[in-house]
C-alpha cells in the first residue's frame, strides 16, 4: 500500500492533475456537443513553447430562440479549454464549458459586447469591447494549478470621450480610478481626477470556477 501511494504521489507531482492524457491535435480535446469557435496560441507557462487556448460553444438545439427583429438566434453559451504543449502533444490543464454568454445576446440599444482572447507576456487576456461605450478586460496568470485573476481594466466612454478608467491589480491589491472632470470635453480634452485605494481580497478568482463572466462585479472592490 505504501509503495502504491508513493507511486501515485510521484505521478501527480510529475504530470499534475488533468495533465495525464496527451493528444497531438488540440481539436481532439473538444467535448461532445461542442464546436470550435476560436483557437489561439502562445506561451502561458513560460517554457518557451506555444500553448493553445480553445474557445468552444455548445450546440444544444433547445438554446435557439426566435427574436422579433433578428430572427433565429443561437443562444448556446461559450466556454474555454486551455492546453499546455508537452513533448509529443498537448495536455488539458483547464476547462470551463460555459463561462461566456453567446455572441447573440440582447445588447439593448446597442450590439452585445464582443468577446476576444489574447495571450501576451505569459498571461491570458479576456476582453470585451463595447464599441463607443468602452471596454473591459480581465488578466489571468497560471499559478496554483489554475489561471487566477491578477488584473482588471476598463474604460467607460461616451463616444470618443473617456468618462472614467479603472485599473485593479489583485497581486498588489491596488485599485486606480481616473474620472474625467471636464464634462464638456471632446476627445483629448479630458481632465482626470485620480483616486488610489487598497482592496481587500482573500482569494484570487479562478478561471476554472467562473460560472458567468457577466456576473463578475469588479465595482465591489
Residue 14's pLDDT is 33
pLDDT tens for 102-133 read 999 987 777 889 999 999 999 999 999 999 99
Phi-psi map region of 173: left, alpha, beta (phi>0 left; psi -120 to 50 alpha): left
Residue 61's pLDDT is 96
Residue 152's pLDDT is 98
Share of the chain above pLDDT 70, in %: 91
pLDDT grade for 201, boundaries at 50, 70 and 90: confident
- In 3D space, the residue among 61, 1, 6, 52 whose CA is nearest the CA of residue 29 turns out to be 52
pLDDT grade for 67, boundaries at 50, 70 and 90: confident
- Give the count of beta carbons closer than 10 Å to the beta carbon of residue 163: 16
Q: Which residue has the higher pLDDT, 52 or 110?
A: 52
Query: Are 75 and 64 in contact, with CB atoms under 8 Å apart?
Result: yes
- Give the count of beta carbons closer than 10 Å to the beta carbon of residue 63: 15
Residue 60's pLDDT is 97
Q: What is the mean pLDDT of the chain?
A: 90
- pLDDT score of 8 more than 80: no
pLDDT tens for 158-188 read 999 999 999 999 999 999 999 999 999 999 9
- pLDDT score of 5 more than 70: no
- pLDDT score of 20 more than 80: no
Residue 202's pLDDT is 84
Amino acid at each position: 500500500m505504501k509503495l502504491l501511494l508513493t507511486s501515485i504521489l510521484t505521478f501527480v507531482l510529475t504530470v499534475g492533475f488533468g495533465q495525464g492524457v496527451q493528444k497531438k491535435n488540440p481539436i481532439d480535446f473538444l467535448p461532445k456537443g461542442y464546436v470550435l469557435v476560436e483557437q489561439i496560441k502562445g506561451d502561458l507557462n513560460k517554457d518557451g513553447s506555444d500553448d493553445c487556448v480553445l474557445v468552444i460553444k455548445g450546440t444544444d438545439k433547445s438554446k435557439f430562440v426566435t427574436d422579433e427583429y433578428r430572427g433565429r438566434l443561437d443562444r448556446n453559451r461559450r466556454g474555454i479549454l486551455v492546453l499546455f504543449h508537452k513533448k509529443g502533444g498537448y495536455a488539458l490543464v483547464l476547462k470551463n464549458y460555459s463561462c461566456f454568454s453567446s455572441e447573440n445576446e440582447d445588447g439593448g440599444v446597442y450590439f452585445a459586447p464582443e468577446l476576444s482572447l489574447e495571450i501576451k507576456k505569459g498571461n491570458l487576456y479576456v476582453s470585451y469591447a463595447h464599441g463607443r461605450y468602452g471596454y473591459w478586460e480581465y488578466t489571468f496568470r497560471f499559478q496554483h494549478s489554475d489561471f487566477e485573476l491578477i488584473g482588471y481594466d476598463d474604460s467607460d466612454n461616451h463616444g470618443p470621450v473617456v468618462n472614467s478608467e479603472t485599473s485593479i491589480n489583485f497581486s498588489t491589491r491596488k485599485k486606480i480610478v481616473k474620472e474625467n472632470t471636464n464634462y464638456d470635453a471632446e476627445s483629448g480634452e479630458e481632465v482626470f481626477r485620480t483616486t488610489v485605494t487598497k482592496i481587500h481580497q482573500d482569494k484570487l478568482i479562478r478561471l476554472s470556477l467562473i460560472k458567468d463572466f457577466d456576473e463578475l462585479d469588479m465595482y465591489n472592490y
